[in-house]
């Protein structure tokens, strides 16, 4: 699954309180209130476990965590993946083995 979609799925399942909307890729979390400060902490933890990257405190900034697109771009940068324009890159990175196995079977 594309990085953006996995981030959206996490937000919808865990952080998003509206019933009938999907957050747009470029919509600012700050502007729309989609993710609050506790949500940012949960999103940081998700990014670390789901994509196997380490997030430094100084990286928890608007430029990296204020929209689905920005989070995805941050993950790609941490994984040294190329930038994409909406094309799937799911197989290009190596997530943690435990979550990878579950994902392959689904």
Window 56-75: contact mask with another protein (x via CB under 8 A): -xx-xxxx-xx---------
Cβ 35 vs Cβ 43: under 8 Å: yes
Structure tokens at 66: 């204020």
Helix (H) / strand (E) element for 4: namely: helix 3-10
**Looking at beta carbons only, is 36 or 102 nearer to another protein?**
36
The CB-of-104 to another protein minimum distance in angstroms stands at 28
Which of 40, 8, 3 is CA-nearest to residue 23?
Answer: 8
Interacting residues with another protein (CB under 8 A): 30, 33, 36-38, 40-42, 44-45, 57-58, 60-63, 65-66
């Amino acid at each position: 699954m594309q990085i953006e979609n996995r981030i959206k799925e996490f937000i919808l399942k865990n952080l998003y309180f509206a019933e009938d909307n999907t957050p747009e890729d470029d919509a600012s979390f700050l502007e729309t209130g989609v993710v609050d400060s506790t949500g940012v902490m949960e999103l940081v933890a998700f990014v670390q476990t789901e994509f196997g990257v380490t997030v430094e405190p100084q990286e928890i900034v608007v430029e990296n965590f204020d929209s689905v697109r920005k989070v995805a771009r941050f993950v790609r940068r941490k994984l040294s993946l190329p930038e994409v324009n909406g094309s799937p890159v799911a197989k290009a990175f190596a997530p943690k083995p435990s979550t990878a196995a579950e994902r392959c079977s689904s």
